[in-house]
Homo-oligomer: A and B are copies of this chain.
Amino acid sequence: MEAKFNELKTRLAEIHDLNKIGWILGWDQRTMMAPKGARVRAEQLASLGRVAHDKFTAPEIGRLLDQLQPHAESLPYDSDEASLIRVARRDWDKARRVPGELRAELSRSASLANAAWIEARKQADFQRFLPHLQKNVQLRRRYIECFDQTEDLYDVLLDDYEPGLPTAEVRRVFGELKRELLPLIAAVTRSGREIDDGCLHGHFPIDQQRAFVLSVVGRFGFQTDSWRLDPTVHPFASNSCTTDIRITTRYAEGFLSPALFGTLHETGHGLYENGVSPNLERTPLCRGASLGLHESQSRMWENLVGRSRPFWRFFFPRLKAAFPAQMAGMDAEGVYAAVNKVQPSLIRVEADEATYNLHIILRFELEQALMSGDLALAELPEAWNARMQDYLGLDVPDDGLGVLQDIHWSGGMIGYFPTYALGNIISCQIWEKAQAALPGLEAQFEQGEFVPLREWLRDNLHQHGRKFTPAETLERVAGTPRIEVGPYVRYLYAKFQDLYALPDLRQPVTA
């Protein structure tokens, strides 16, 4: 058995190496590569992906997994060995179901659709993108057919990003969330209070922005012996292993927020990967358990930490030292208010904490309608615009600022969006547990001390990597396998009732 387990582990390590190499090539492509390297890089990534996929779906892996099944059952459920066999079995069963030919077509169609989308968005011309979207949706239907029938067609898509979570459950969660958010946003709008966020706009030289954000994330856990921060167009986090974390950000010389909060966000992703147990290195367990859990970490460091009052009590004097002219006459409270300004807006990635989730709910609803056929693809722009009016009271001037704004659908990534809002919700479930476990957490932030939070997250979440399902993982860190909106709604109400002096809001119904 030990020999068989070692053989499995060796094979999975090699495949994991190839997959991680793909991550670094992707990082390189988006941070370092000269533009003319793109064509051959696409081929290199395709070759690498094909080789890794072929090696993983080989029948020998299935045979080893079969033979090791009794062994896995004889071991403790949470042992690294049992977890490796269990997770590899699940991955293998999924990977085997999709024929190589469909996989290749999905990837080809995504490339073509992506190029068309770039052009279509530039010209705000949905018609130009429509045939590609049709093709992507049609291929996704064929993808769904590779799997056993589920309650919702959408379940199969969602499972790729948030394994094991049924669509019905997301519908329940988002239903509750929408019910709570709409009155809150309406109350903020009605309050008539205009927060002045002028201090975030001005002239912030990029070198100084970089130095400042590094001084912040250095206190979170960014260390130069195992992390990098590089500029890019669409920021992301990647890594080669737990001790080689690559985060990226985008600098706007006239606006402090993108680089600052973007870096805090990506640092949250990086801390998750950095915190996975070294024992899981070079195994398929060596990454976060799901996109929702991952996003819970990025949003926690960006929002629950980075947009908190104690954070700004500590960092405001440092921000002022870095940008004395721009921060003249400001105080910690003023910056705290500025970074929390609520303002319904057209673009998801620029949305504030309160309205962000409605952008996601809108996409989740439209995606389900598209997959089920309830909504014809040609009618997508009108449906989008109607919901923007309903949820945020905004007119969409053109499709470039509307239905064409996101890259995801061009890449065939349908089912991905919900994980962003799920991450927000989960972040507060975890946050309440951390606050209970670590008394004086906010007082520590005021002293610039973030290590206890990071260590607690590592012990209770990060270290497990992908050993457990997302629900099991959530239960370990938050005490329940269920995604619950209560903590998140409480957090938003508390923050914005205070900031917008909203006296007349009844307490939210969710307990």
Q: Which residues of A contact B (CB under 8 A)?
A: 13-14, 17-18, 20-21, 24-25, 28, 32-37, 39-41, 43-44, 47-48, 50-51, 55, 224-228, 240-241, 243-245, 281-282
Residue on B nearest A37 in the bound complex, by CB: B244
* 7 further contact pairs, Cβ within 8 A, besides A17-B44, A32-B32: A13-B43, A14-B51, A24-B28, A34-B225, A37-B241, A41-B244, A51-B55
For this complex, 21 residue pairs linking A to B, each with C-beta atoms less than 8 Å apart, are A13-B43, A14-B47, A14-B51, A17-B48, A18-B47, A18-B51, A20-B40, A20-B44, A21-B44, A28-B28, A34-B224, A34-B245, A36-B226, A36-B243, A36-B244, A40-B241, A40-B281, A41-B241, A41-B244, A43-B282, A51-B51
Q: Write out the residue numbers on chain B whose beta carbons fall within 8 Å of the beta carbon of A225.
A: 34-36
Q: Write out the residue numbers on chain B whose beta carbons fall within 8 Å of the beta carbon of A41.
A: 240-241, 244
Residue on B nearest A10 in the bound complex, by CB: B47
Docked CA distance A244–B40 (Å): 9
Is A13 a contact partner of B226 (Cβ separation < 8 A)? no
Contact of A244 among B17, B34, B51, B245 (CB under 8 A): B34
Q: Write out the residue numbers on chain B whose beta carbons fall within 8 Å of the beta carbon of A13.
A: 43, 47
Copies, count? 2
Docked CA distance A33–B40 (Å): 23
Docked CA distance A152–B184 (Å): 85
Docked CA distance A41–B21 (Å): 9
CB of A501, distance to nearest CB on chain B (Å):
46
Q: Write out the residue numbers on chain B whose beta carbons fall within 8 Å of the beta carbon of A14.
A: 47, 50-51
Docked CA distance A14–B53 (Å): 14
Q: Write out the residue numbers on chain B whose beta carbons fall within 8 Å of the beta carbon of A43.
A: 13, 17, 282
Known contacts A14-B51, A21-B25, A28-B24, A243 near B34 by CB under 8 Å: yes
The 8 closest A-B pairs by CB, nearest first: A37-B244, A40-B241, A36-B243, A17-B47, A36-B226, A17-B44, A14-B47, A34-B226
**Of A20, A33, A34, A55, most B-chain CB atoms within 10 Å:** A34
Residue on B nearest A241 in the bound complex, by CB: B40
CB of A202, distance to nearest CB on chain B (Å):
25
CB of A465, distance to nearest CB on chain B (Å):
15
Docked CA distance A34–B20 (Å): 16
**Of A36, A224, A245, most B-chain CB atoms within 10 Å:** A36
Docked CA distance A17–B240 (Å): 19
CB of A35, distance to nearest CB on chain B (Å):
5
Docked CA distance A348–B349 (Å): 55
Is B33 a contact partner of A240 (Cβ separation < 8 A)? yes
CB of A399, distance to nearest CB on chain B (Å):
31
CB of A217, distance to nearest CB on chain B (Å):
14
Q: Write out the residue numbers on chain B whose beta carbons fall within 8 Å of the beta carbon of A18.
A: 47-48, 51
Q: Write out the residue numbers on chain B whose beta carbons fall within 8 Å of the beta carbon of A21.
A: 21, 25, 44, 48
Residue on B nearest A55 in the bound complex, by CB: B51
Docked CA distance A39–B47 (Å): 25
Docked CA distance A33–B281 (Å): 17
Q: Write out the residue numbers on chain B whose beta carbons fall within 8 Å of the beta carbon of A34.
A: 224-228, 243-245
CB of A95, distance to nearest CB on chain B (Å):
18
CB of A281, distance to nearest CB on chain B (Å):
6
CB of A191, distance to nearest CB on chain B (Å):
47
Docked CA distance A13–B44 (Å): 9
Q: Write out the residue numbers on chain B whose beta carbons fall within 8 Å of the beta carbon of A241.
A: 37, 39-41
Contact of A240 among B44, B50, B55, B244 (CB under 8 A): B44
Docked CA distance A82–B37 (Å): 27
Q: Write out the residue numbers on chain B whose beta carbons fall within 8 Å of the beta carbon of A244.
A: 33-34, 36-37, 40-41
Is A243 a contact partner of B37 (Cβ separation < 8 A)? yes
CB of A125, distance to nearest CB on chain B (Å):
27
Q: Write out the residue numbers on chain B whose beta carbons fall within 8 Å of the beta carbon of A17.
A: 43-44, 47-48
Residue on B nearest A46 in the bound complex, by CB: B17
Q: Write out the residue numbers on chain B whose beta carbons fall within 8 Å of the beta carbon of A33.
A: 240, 244
CB of A429, distance to nearest CB on chain B (Å):
32
